[in-house]
């Protein structure tokens, strides 16, 4: 149900188009001195991925690498084979979604980012790739209430919902009743039993309209949505660690995963937060700024270019 899993219906024909799409990528140089090498950074076909790819690429360029970009390359069905074939070197991934892609949906992802990434690396090692240290920044399923509801019941965590869930209406996409990190998990882990459950869309316009008109008080969103603040929605903390760890993590070909490359990328992820993702996503999606400019401003503000 996570948007980061990618569309399952893309065919192998999409991979054939890869070289055509890749030719549309931009490129960026290093610091003007002799290059330490050339790396190609790719991204999925949604704005947050472009922002993350730019963060990685611009930091590597500042460190002296020549960087090529293949942004908006497609879903995982396109990006993962490109990494395996050496057409790209790095892409910003999401730990649980990467694991469930490479293990063919075996259900091994957990709420533990380190353990999920370690499991992911058992699959990537066979493909001459590796995932680096996961960030605390998380883009995955989340459950939100309006600020009015949060204030009325003093809600901060999902556990806070337990005594009052029977008074509230919940809304989510059609997968939710059977998806283990949605209603089954909310029931088994948190003991939540809502007054009513509405089948809407998955973090789409119907969910937003239902929040606005008051027909739901609790709904499924994604944790780094650009419009959470504008909509006045409060994401409740997953205090019992039910939700799969879709923490941001760089996925890198082993051939270019030198200690220096790892240091640069891990340094980015060590300081990146979910709130940073929300802010940058808002700048791109709501304010229509360019991903490269947003990434550059973030790196400057956080002294990566000092």
The fold for domain 141-235 equals D-Maltodextrin-Binding Protein; domain 2 (3.40.190)
Structure-token pair, residue 67: 């960087």
Among the four given CATH numbers 3.40.50.300, 3.40.50.970, 3.40.190.10, 3.60.21.10, the one describing domain 3-138+246-273+290-301: 3.40.190.10
How far apart CA 147 and CA 154 sit, in angstroms, is: 10
**Tally of CB atoms within 10 A around 174:** 12
Locate the domains of the chain by residue range: 3-138+246-273+290-301, 141-235
Which candidate, 168, 152, 12, 5, places its Cα nearest to that of 82?
12
How far apart CA 213 and CA 39 sit, in angstroms, is: 48
Cβ neighbors of 281 (< 8 A, separation 6 or more) are 47, 48, 51, 224, 225, 226
Supply the pLDDT for residue 179.
Answer: 87
> pLDDT digit of tens for each residue in the chain (306 aa)?
555 554 332 223 333 333 333 334 444 444 445 789 999 999 999 999 999 999 999 999 999 999 999 999 999 999 999 999 999 999 999 999 999 999 999 999 999 999 999 999 999 999 999 999 999 999 999 999 999 999 999 999 999 999 999 999 999 999 999 988 899 999 999 999 999 999 999 999 999 999 999 999 999 999 999 999 889 999 999 999 999 999 999 999 999 999 999 999 999 999 999 999 999 999 999 999 999 999 999 999 999 986
Supply the pLDDT for residue 222.
Answer: 94
Contact 248, 90 (CB under 8 A): no
pTM of the predicted model, to two decimals? 0.86
Q: What is the DSSP letter of 237?
A: B
DSSP-assigned states of every residue in 34-90: --S-EEEEEEESSHHHHHHHHHHHHHHHHTT-EEEEEEEEESHHHHHHHHHHTS-SE
Cα-Cα-Cα-Cα torsion 291, 87, 115, 99, nearest 10 degrees, comes to: 90
Asked if 3-138+246-273+290-301 and 141-235 have one fold, the answer is yes
DSSP-assigned states of every residue in 113-166: HHHHHHHHHHHHGGGTEEE-PPPS-B-SEEEEEEHHHHHHHT--BSGGGTTTGG
Q: 90 to each of 54, 127, 188, 212, how far by Cα in Å? A: 11, 13, 38, 40
How far apart CA 289 and CA 294 sit, in angstroms, is: 7
How far apart CA 289 and CA 302 sit, in angstroms, is: 19
Structure-token pair, residue 28: 């960026």
């Amino acid at each position: 149900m996570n948007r980061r899993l990618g569309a399952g219906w893309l065919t192998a024909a999409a991979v054939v188009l890869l070289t055509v799409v890749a030719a549309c990528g931009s490129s960026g140089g290093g610091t003007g001195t002799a290059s330490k090498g050339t790396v190609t950074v790719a991204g999925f076909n949604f704005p947050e991925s472009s922002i993350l790819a730019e963060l990685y690429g611009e930091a590597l360029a500042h460190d002296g690498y020549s960087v090529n970009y293949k942004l908006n390359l497609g879903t995982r069905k396109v990006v993962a084979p490109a990494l395996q074939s050496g057409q790209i070197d790095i892409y910003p991934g999401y730990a649980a979604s990467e694991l469930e892609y490479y293990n063919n949906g075996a259900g091994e992802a957990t709420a533990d980012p380190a353990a999920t990434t370690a499991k992911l690396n058992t699959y990537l090692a066979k493909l001459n790739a590796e995932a680096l240290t996961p960030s605390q920044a998380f883009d995955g399923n989340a459950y939100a209430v309006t600020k009015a509801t949060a204030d009325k019941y003093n809600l901060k965590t999902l556990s806070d919902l337990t005594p009052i869930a029977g008074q509230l209406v919940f809304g989510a996409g059609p997968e939710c009743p059977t998806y283990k990190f949605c209603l089954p998990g909310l029931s088994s882990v948190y003991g939540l039993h809502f007054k009513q459950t509405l089948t809407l869309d998955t973090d789409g316009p119907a969910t937003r309209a239902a929040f606005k008109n008051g027909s739901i008080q609790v709904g499924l969103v994604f944790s780094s949505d650009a419009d959470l603040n504008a909509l006045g929605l409060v994401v409740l903390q997953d205090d019992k660690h039910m939700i799969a760890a879709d923490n941001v993590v760089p996925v890198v070909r082993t051939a270019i995963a030198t200690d220096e490359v790892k240091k640069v990328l891990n340094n980015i992820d060590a300081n990146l937060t979910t709130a940073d993702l929300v802010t940058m996503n808002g700048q791109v999606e709501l304010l229509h700024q360019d991903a490269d400019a947003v990434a550059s401003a973030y790196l400057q503000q956080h002294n990566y270019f000092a």
